[in-house]
Amino acid sequence: MSGFKFCQEPKRVPLIDSKYRKIRTRIPPPGSSRIFDKLGKYESRSMHGQLPVVWDRAKDFQVYDPYGNCWIDFTSTIFVTNTGHANEDIISALRKQLDKELLHTYTFANKPRARFLQKLVEIAPKHLNKAFLLSAGTEATECAVKLMRMRGQTINKSKVAVISFKGSMHGRTMAAEMLKGDTDSSAWIGYRDPNIFNMPFPYPWLIGSGSNGRISRGVWEKRFADDMVSLKKKGLDFRKIAGFILESYMGWGALFFPVPYVKMLAVFAKEHDCLITFDDIQGGFGRTGKLFAYQHYGVEPDLVCLGKGISGSLPLSAIIGRRNIMDLPDMGSMSSTHSANPLCCAAAFANLQVIESKDLVKESARKGIILHRELNRIKEKYPHRVSYVFGKGLLAAMLFKDPKTGSPDCIFPSMVCERAMQKGLLLVHTGRESIKIGPPLTIPDAALFDGITALEESVAEIERESIQ
């Protein structure tokens, strides 16, 4: 993490008046300090560190503050509002549900839940034929660990080992943090679950490419086999593996696994009778140009964790999987108080209808081609600064390096995020060497281009200032 702090003092910046972006005040606007002061006083600091923008209204791909400024949103509130902020169909579904006067039912049955689950299962690949709903993504990944272990124990009592990838994001609760590996963010736990094993993520820069600049299939297959041998040497008995959990792509860098690596993993899982879970919480619902991001790999997972873009708005998450695994827990033993709230389900049903009616999965793929072409163009322009552009569809990450040493640079991208904010563009600030980009899938092409222009100008200005 860069530890970079965005400037809290209102600063005079050039005013912006493009078709989609308006900056009419100092940034942050002087009036916003009252809100930030209040949050600073009453809210724990773990919630803070975000770009200093006060959201007053958000519509489709634009965010408005109360002071007359307007931003193009390249964050989708961290990949939630795939169907656009305050989508009309979602709002009218919510209004109808409010007018029915049914806001909560706990696990008692309600129509919106039944209707949404049917739709979710119907749009998913056939073998994923049962689902259940929770509230947060981290609950879904915790439950996936539970389900994989429960299923392992039906084969033998010690088949409880779960393998995940170092540095993956699966949430902030205990098992989810352990899945991430031995990191600063999991140090608070104070011990390691002896049955959670972390593999190194197969980063392309850790492997030499061939003479044609490509890494061959065999190299990735060998890499997977070698990593498994390393785990064996650390004491892992393969008969004890309950399953693997993979973030569909490494979130901070929009980095997908190499396909041959995942295919090899699937062969291994089959041979050793263990499960595969994809955590598609961030990549689901069209973000990467497929309905689910894991579908880029051409393998059949047993369980898939979903969240974020599932409802386009309200807190909802899900696990979808094979019936025989999903029905393992006893009646009433896997739920939570707010699971499947009728309002969330009404929003989620409308959300799926919008994804279908507006063909947003295809739109994401189409606009993704524009986005990636433009980002690669910027990379070519600043080869000493931009090391990689990763992602698929309307998901992208630009990775930055120090031009002198070539090592990852966390400060430059933070400065670019701050400058873009001053120009009326919101980017995902990762605190790492990356900037992430994920506009609502509904963004018009012209606004996508306008946002990219603001990004390019920001990179150019920070670059110029850094060499002065």
Ligand X SMILES: Cc1ncc(COP(=O)(O)O)c(C=O)c1O
Binding residues for ligand X (CB under 6 A)? 136-138, 141, 169-171, 247, 251, 279, 281-282, 307
Residue 377 CB partners (closer than 8 Å, separation 6+): none
- Are the CB atoms for 257 and 298 separated by under 8 Å? no
SS3 of 374, please?
helix
Backbone angles phi, psi at 297, to 5 degrees: -95, -15
Going by DSSP bridges, is the β-strand pair 425-426/62-64 parallel, antiparallel, or unpaired? unpaired
- What's the closest the beta carbon of residue 377 comes to ligand X, in angstroms? 28
Whole-angstrom Cα distance, residue 70 to residue 33?
A: 18
What's the min distance (Å) between Cβ of 142 and ligand X?
Answer: 9
Measured from the CB of residue 364, what is the shortest distance to ligand X in angstroms? 17
Q: 170 or 385, CB closer to ligand X?
A: 170
User: Given the complex with ligand X, which of 281 and 452 has the nearer CB atom?
Assistant: 281
* Least distance to ligand X, CB of residue 324, Å: 25
CB under 8 Å to 165, separation ≥6 — which residues?
Answer: 181, 198, 199, 200, 201, 246, 247, 250
Whichever of 316 and 325 has its CB closer to ligand X, that residue is 316
Whole-number minimum distance, CB 38 to ligand X, in Å? 24
Strand partners, 437: 396
Q: Which letter, b or e, does each residue of 329-367 get, where b requires 16 or more Cβ atoms within 10 Å of its Cβ? A: eeeeebbeebbbbbbbbbbbbbbbebbeebebbebbbeb
User: What is the DSSP annotation of 230-295?
Assistant: HHHHTT--GGGEEEEEEESEEGGGTEEPPHHHHHHHHHHHHHTT-EEEEE-TTTTTTTTSSSSGGG
- Residue 75 CB, nearest approach to ligand X (Å): 12
In the complex with ligand X, the residue whose CB is nearer, 169 or 314, is: 169
Nearer CB in complex with ligand X: 52/137: 137
Rg (CA), the chain: 22
For residues 16 and 310, which CB has a smaller minimum distance to ligand X in the complex? 310
Helical axes 342-357 vs 360-381, angle rounded to 10°:
70
Phi, psi at 22, each rounded to 5°:
-135, 120
Nearer to ligand X, 145 or 462 (CB): 145
Closest separation in Å from C-beta 282 to ligand X: 4
Tokens of 285: 């619902």
Q: How far is the CB of 400 from ligand X (least distance, A)?
A: 21
Residue 171 or 368: the one with the smaller Cβ distance to ligand X is 171
Q: How far is the CB of 79 from ligand X (least distance, A)?
A: 7
Residue of closest CB approach to ligand X? 137
Strands (E), 289-420: 303-306, 317-321, 386-390, 396-400
Q: Which residue, 247 or 374, has its beta carbon nearer to ligand X? A: 247
